[in-house]
Structure 1
Amino acid sequence: MSPSLISNGYCSPARVEELPCAAISELNSRLVVPDNAERDILSDSCPLPTIDLSPFLAQRFEAPNSAVQELCRRVADCLSSTGCVVIKDPRVASEDNSHFVDLMERYFSQAAGVKHQDARPELHYQVGVTPEGVEEPRCIVDPACLETIKDQPPGHRATVPTGPDPKWRFMWRLGARPDVTEFQELNAAPVLPAGFPEWKSVMECWGSKMLDTLTSAAEMAAIGFGLDRHAITNVMHLGPHLLAPTGADLSQHSMLGSCYAGFHYDLNLLTIHGKSRFPGLFVWLRDGRRIPVRIPDGCLFIQAGKQLEYLTAGHVLAGMHEVICTEGTQAAVKAARAAGRSTWRISSTVFGHVQSDQILQPLGHFAKAPTAAKYAPVAAGTFVQHELEAINLKKA
């Protein structure tokens, strides 16, 4: 992080706080789901472990000791067992998330016509704004996805999407891009909206901090998987990483059960979220349970994407999730209105990617797994383009 970003008033200095890790064995012992009506109650009573990065960061440039190796195994095991993990990073301050969410509330509250000037459909909406009603949940076009929902047990069944998502999204590119690539449209220059002089500083501050956390988690996961510690971060180098907040207008979409982001997985490597001011994000654990995401103050939430599933030959599965309006969402809207605050629901989201020209294929010992044949080698950029076509962001 450059000194200018820290000193400009938009990026708070890192703050070190200790938070003990929950043992992954406790989590795994609670992943047995009874076949009865208690399932939906249990979904709220199974917190994910919070893993503190401090010990790893203290030894980042050294060979990890046994305690750090165990911490890395916990990250890897949690990703494999659940598809997600909650992270405490002492380099990240809650105030930075607040500055960022404040900015995005102001941006999305502009008139639609103003925001449309920032859209770049010719670049598959991979930079700039994606208007509401453009992105389609995969279940709209994929019968297998609908079958998955049909087979889910009561209390853990996804909302069936009936049309495009009513959310807006803004894509802000993070980090350097390759000088030469076969996928220029996935590595385009960022779009800078008019009327927000602090835009770049706030976006770079918060986005780079979340990307740093995600990169550290990827390195820890590699160690935990028994790979070279840089096996995952090497293929991430110069990737098309994106700060990609969504905005849903809850003054227009606050009916109970309204679906802001239909049941789907993320196409990228790892997704990291800061805390939203309105609840509504649900994820599915590997055992089929649907749980609400509740991010503790000062923490970040990471979920596996399809590219990580590829690199691990399915040892880690891409995490399914949805965002809907719940009673908690409605209560938060009521409180925001009473306080005179914005009722735009902002997701604080970064997509970490494999570099577009890298070949997506199982890494290391995962290449010898019986499941490896399901993950045929493909350029990451080609894979992303196919996924974007499926959700209506790229025209075939």
Structure 2
Amino acid sequence: MEVPVVDLSKYLGSTGDRELQEEVGEQCREVSRILSETGALVVKDPRCSAQDNDRFIDMMEKYFECSDEFKRGQERPHLHYQVGVTPEGVEVPRSLVDEDMQDKFRTLPEDLRPVRPTGPDRKWRYMWRVGPRPASTRFQELNSAPVIPDGFPEWKDTMDFWGHKMISAVEAVAEMAAIGFGLPKDAFTKLMKQGPHLLAPTGSDLRQYGQEGTVFAGYHYDLNFLTIHGRSRFPGLNIWLRNGQKVEVKVPVGCLLIQAGKQIEWLTAGECTAGMHEVIVTRRTIDAMNIASEHNRSLWRVSSTLFAHIASDAVLKPLGHFQESPIAKNYPPIVTGDFVEQELAVINLKGKIEL
């Protein structure tokens, strides 16, 4: 099964034309249905070109190829790694420490199971805030100033340029999903305002860890609202649909992948569930490595990932008619920043986990 593709052009260009509005309304219902049934969709946004994604990946490959000593100069553990770099071997995949997730693991047929992680993730990550921060907040460590590495004069412009484009795509999908779910158009986006959105590219060293089956990001869900990825130059992302089906993601050139996170699950009382996924070295990854080597290209696998968040001081709770859901009680009101800090603690980004 291929992840469904939604072209945002009509929604972005919709006017008062009644026939077009009806078509857009149907597309919005399709977006909400796909998110509900699969937890993932691929979008084509005319504002986000393949060239924009390439420019970003080019810079991140250059950064990740720097020495470990240089990169650790941008490490900020006292801020829960929510800005700057997170070295490999720090973040712990939730499936390694979450007993409920391990139980779910065991119920899957053997051919649909993820690769079981045995330790922290073998990936580097860079966290870059996108968009305005709140003037005052209880969660300063989730809204801290950015870190810019020396020797990259293009860093801020490149990060902000691509980050804002991806946020715009997420906001369009969030509006479409809200309409499709029978909520006000701004039901989600008004809660996203001044959220701690993170452009969070990962870097995985295929030269060192290019063996088939190596886990770069162990089986997990994302704690944020919606996650958006540009197309990586190396395959390796597997996702699990709501029905348990495993899908190796193939993002077409010029498209973006969007996945449901835990915050949209909360706001919809489980109508959307946070999508499970992993990043591993597959046979297709190795094929892409061989081609890259032949052309003397970088062997760092970069994901241009952005985590879109609900604002830290906003309250997470089921919205509108989702409050009437029979399982709404499983999603009690919680301040988003408190929720995020609880989740960060579990995956070893706030305090130390003994494995």
Residues 1:48 and 2:3 are matched in the alignment: yes
TM-superposed CA distance for 1:141, in Å, is 1.2
Residue in structure 2 matching 1:136, options 92, 103, 106: 92
Q: Deviations over 1:112-142 (max 9, x none)?
A: 0100000110100000000000000012211
Query: Equivalences for 1:1-396 in 2 at 5 Å?
Result: 46-59=1-14, 65-395=21-351
Q: Deviations over 1:306-343 (max 9, x none)?
A: 00000000000000000000111111111111111100
TM-superposed CA distance for 1:48, in Å, is 2.0
Over 3 Å counting, the alpha-carbon distance change for 1:318 and 1:126 in structure 2 is same
- Please list every run of 5 or more consecutive structure 2 residues that lacks an aligned counterpart in the other structure: none
Code of the residue aligned with 1:48 in structure 2: it is V
Alignment RMSD, CA only?
A: 1.2
Code of the residue aligned with 1:56 in structure 2: it is Y
Does structure 1 conserve the Cα–Cα contact (< 8 Å) formed by 2:15 and 2:21? no
Supply the distance in 2 between the matched residues of 1:138 and 1:393 (Cα, whole angstroms): 11
Structure 2 counterpart SS, 1:71: helix
Supply the distance in 2 between the matched residues of 1:60 and 1:128 (Cα, whole angstroms): 41
Supply the distance in 2 between the matched residues of 1:375 and 1:288 (Cα, whole angstroms): 22
Code of the residue aligned with 1:108 in structure 2: it is F
TM-superposed CA distance for 1:60, in Å, is 7.0
Over 3 Å counting, the alpha-carbon distance change for 1:129 and 1:325 in structure 2 is same
**Aligned-residue identity in percent:** 54
Q: Deviations over 1:255-285 (max 9, x none)?
A: 1100000000000000000000000000000
Supply the distance in 1 between the matched residues of 2:326 and 2:109 (Cα, whole angstroms): 29
Structure 1 counterpart SS, 2:208: coil
- Please list every run of 5 or more consecutive structure 1 residues that lacks an aligned counterpart in the other structure: 1-45
Does structure 2 conserve the Cα–Cα contact (< 8 Å) formed by 1:146 and 1:160? no
Does structure 1 conserve the Cα–Cα contact (< 8 Å) formed by 2:53 and 2:162? yes
Q: Deviations over 1:117-170 (max 9, x none)?
A: 001101000000000000000122111111111111122101111000010000
TM-superposed CA distance for 1:395, in Å, is 1.3
Code of the residue aligned with 2:288 in structure 1: it is A
Supply the distance in 2 between the matched residues of 1:61 and 1:97 (Cα, whole angstroms): 33
TM-superposed CA distance for 1:62, in Å, is 9.1
Consecutive aligned runs of 4 or more in structure 1 exceeding 4 Å deviation: 60-64
TM-superposed CA distance for 1:298, in Å, is 0.8
